[in-house]
Amino acid sequence: MAIHPTAVVAPGAEVHPSCEVGPYAVIGPQVRLGPDCRIGAHAVIEGDTVLGAGNRVFPHAVLGQIPQDLKYGGEPTKLVVGDRNQFREFTTAHVGTAGGGGVTRIGSGCLFMANAHVAHDCQVGDGCILANSVALAGHVVLEDHVILGGLSGVHQFVRLGRYAFLAAGSVVVMDVPPYCTVQGDRARLAGLNTVGLQRAGFTEAQGGRIRAAYRKLFRSKLKLEEALGELRAEMGAEPEIAHLVAFLEGSRRGVTR
C-alpha cells in the first residue's frame, strides 16, 4: 500500500493494499476503497462512500460530502461508485438523502471532467461522460453512455436516456429521450446522436428503426400517446425501440421536444 506520510486515513477506513493515496489526501472512517484505486493529492473522500476497483480520484476532488440540501438532517446515507471511473480536479459527488432513497450511485467507466458536480440521489449509469463544469441537480437519472457537453446543467428529477448527447451549455429541464441530441437554453431536440450510435456499434438496421421512431415521435403530427402506440405495435419487439417506448412512457417531468 502506497500512502503518502502526509495523507490522513481515519481509523475504520478500508483501503485495499493495492491502492495509492497521495499527499494531503483525506480518507474518512466510513470509506471503502477497492483494488487499484489511486487517490490524488488533496483529494477528500468522506461519508459512507464505497469505491470499486480501478477508480482514479484526481487532486482536489471531493467525494461523499453531505448534500447541498437544506432538508438534510444528518441521516445515514451513501455514495456508491463502481469501477474504473475518473474524477478529475475539483469534481464533487455527494451522498444521498433519506427522501431520495438514501444512495447516490455511479456506475463504471465514467469520466467526470474538472468541476463536474453530481448531486444527492443521482443515479449515473455506465460509460457516461460529464465534461467540464457540468452540474447535475438532485435525483437526476443518467442511463448508460450519456455524454454532457461542458457547462451544461440538468434540472432535478430529469432523466437522460441512454446514448443521449447534450451540447455544450445546454440547460435541460425535461427528460431527454434515448439516442437523441439536445441543445440550447431551455434545451430542445436537435436530432439523433448518430455518431454516438455508430461508435457504440449499432447496426444499420437498428439505426434505421431508431430514425423511423424519431420521425414518428417528433416530426409527425401524431400526439405522443398515439405515436407510442403505433411504435409499440410496429416495432415493439425490437429491444432498442422497446427501451425508447418504455422510457417515454415513464416520464414524469415531460419530454424534451
**Distance of alpha carbon 69 from alpha carbon 199, whole angstroms:** 38
pLDDT number for residue 73: 94
The tens digit of pLDDT for each residue in 99-123 reads: 999 999 999 999 999 999 999 999 9
pLDDT averaged over every residue in the chain: 97
pLDDT number for residue 141: 98
pLDDT along the chain (257 residues), means of 10: 94 98 98 98 98 98 97 96 98 97 98 98 98 98 98 98 98 98 97 97 98 97 96 97 98 96
pLDDT number for residue 61: 98
pLDDT number for residue 134: 98
Reference 139, options 156, 154, 153; nearest CA is 156
User: Which residue's C-alpha cell is 422510457?
Assistant: 247
Number of H helices, E strands in the chain: 4, 28
User: Which residue's C-alpha cell is 425535461?
Assistant: 174
Which grid coordinates are listed for 231? 411504435
**Distance of alpha carbon 79 from alpha carbon 104, whole angstroms:** 5
pLDDT number for residue 71: 93
Q: Which of the residues are catalytic?
A: 120-121, 138
β-pairing verdict for 20-21 and 38-39:
parallel
Report the SS3 class of residue 215: helix
pLDDT number for residue 51: 98
